[in-house]
Amino acid sequence: MENPLTRLSEQPVETEFPAKCPVGAPRDWQAFAKVKLDSLTKPPGSLGRLEEIVAKIISIREQERPTCANKAVYVFAADHGVTDEGVSAYPKVVTQQMVRNFLANGAAINVLARRARAEVIVVDVGVDAEFEPHERLIDKKIRRATRNMATGPAMTESEATAALEVGRTLAQEAQFQNRDVVAVGEMGIGNTTAAGAITAALSGKPVAEVTGSGTGVSPQGLVHKRHIIERALSVNGVNQNSSPFDVLRKVGGLEIAAMTGMLLEAFEQRIPVVIDGFISTAAAALAYGIEPRARDVLFAGHVSEEPGHRVLLEYLGLDPILNLGMRLGEGTGAVLAMMVIEGAVSIFNEMATFSSAGVSGAL
């Protein structure tokens, strides 16, 4: 027997509350979302964070019936000169090998993105290799890897600025393509070392407190990695008093800079962005340092096993949607969270109201 609530939920939901504001008054989209959510066939607030998520989507998009059909995950790839110091369990060549894996649809992000119906777009900002043209590869290489931050600045001002502009341009293109929501991920051997340095600089916390094993270095390797980060911060004179841009160019990475630019422009374009793990959250923290309002369009996809990730999420004031003990990167946690976001939006758009379903409200 057909469930009448299912049939009704497929129809446009009636508007049973004031949908318009007085002429000239700004729309209170949070209030609109709450009234609509409370009209659905459920006790108020009973869907917990799903209600918070969809209200934030509506506030960003400023639409009464937002959609999540047009999704993309941007995987930013670049190499890091600091790998010369032996900070990773994997050789630098893995960065280029994984880019080819992404393009061949063989990586974890490809599998999850197919399930989420999100397009995977790979952005080469600084991989130490050349690739054949591919429809899903965007070649925006600034240089083949950053310099070794343990001996001096990772990037010049012009290189960091150019990488920021790569991200800004991609966000503008995403708006032109009517992307409903995007995710950012990354690939770059050595980039947890850069993220650890960024986290220590922005938070003022000890390097040992914010730096984990990354790809899985040994206990002795972790001690060495932390020593290299401390040296990089000292050599470059980077600390809590440094500007976010100075932190970025001296101890960051090209892929981190590009993500930072994308997040800054996503705020301008009002595009919801799901950030992934430690590396993309370091970019989010830099974007927040440059423009605090950028946080308003960000969703924390998950919390990773890297200790610095929790520090950054606290710095940003963002609660992760998922906690699955992941530490892969690539945008995997962000794409999983996209499915939760899409579910929240579907509830808002498709669920029957008390009136349309003929269900009695609370006494």
**pLDDT tens per residue across span 203-261:** 999 999 999 888 788 999 999 999 999 999 999 999 999 999 999 999 999 999 999 99
Q: What is the pLDDT of residues 79-115, one digit of tens each?
A: 999 999 999 999 999 999 999 999 999 999 999 999 9
| Residue 26: pLDDT band with limits 50, 70, 90 | confident
Report which secondary-structure segment, H or E, holds 150. none
pLDDT at site 3: 36
297's CB contacts (< 8 A; 6+ apart) are: 60, 263, 266, 267, 270, 271, 272, 273
Which residues partner with 124 through β-bridges?
77, 139
Domain map (residue ranges) of the chain: 4-67+345-357, 71-340
Q: In the predicted model, is pLDDT for residue 50 greater than 60? A: yes
Among residues 152, 226, 161, which one has the least CA distance to residue 192? 226
Q: In the predicted model, is pLDDT for residue 268 greater than 80? A: yes
pLDDT at site 10: 36
> Three-state DSSP class for 342?
helix
The position carrying tokens 């610095």 is 308
DSSP assignment string, 25-60: SPP-HHHHHHHHHHHBSS-TTTTTHHHHHHHHHHHH
Q: What is the pLDDT of residues 274-306, one digit of tens each?
A: 999 999 999 999 999 999 999 999 999 999 999
**Residue type at 346?**
S
pTM: 0.91
| Residue 25: pLDDT band with limits 50, 70, 90 | low
Q: What is the pLDDT of residues 132-170, one digit of tens each?
A: 999 999 999 999 999 999 999 999 999 999 999 999 999
Retrieve residue 38's tokens.
């409370």
Q: Which CATH class is domain 71-340?
A: alpha beta
pLDDT at site 166: 98
User: SS in 3 state form for 156-208?
Assistant: CHHHHHHHHHHHHHHHHHHHHCCCCEEEEEEECCCHHHHHHHHHHHHHCCCHH
Q: 60 with 270: CB under 8 angstroms?
A: yes
Mean pLDDT of 15-20: 44
CA distances (Å), 277 to each of 191, 227, 287, in order? 12, 23, 15
220's CB contacts (< 8 A; 6+ apart) are: none
pLDDT at site 19: 45
pLDDT, the chain, mean? 92
Q: What is the pLDDT of residues 304-358, one digit of tens each?
A: 999 999 999 999 999 999 999 999 999 999 999 999 999 999 999 999 998 888 8
Q: In the predicted model, is pLDDT for residue 171 greater than 60? A: yes
| Residue 5: pLDDT band with limits 50, 70, 90 | very low
Residues 342 and 329: their CA atoms lie apart, in Å, by: 21
> Three-state DSSP class for 275?
strand
| Residue 6: pLDDT band with limits 50, 70, 90 | very low
Architecture of domain 4-67+345-357: Orthogonal Bundle (1.10)
Q: 170 with 138: CB under 8 angstroms?
A: yes
Residues designated as active site:
330
pLDDT at site 363: 76
Q: In the predicted model, is pLDDT for residue 51 greater than 50? A: yes
| Residue 22: pLDDT band with limits 50, 70, 90 | very low
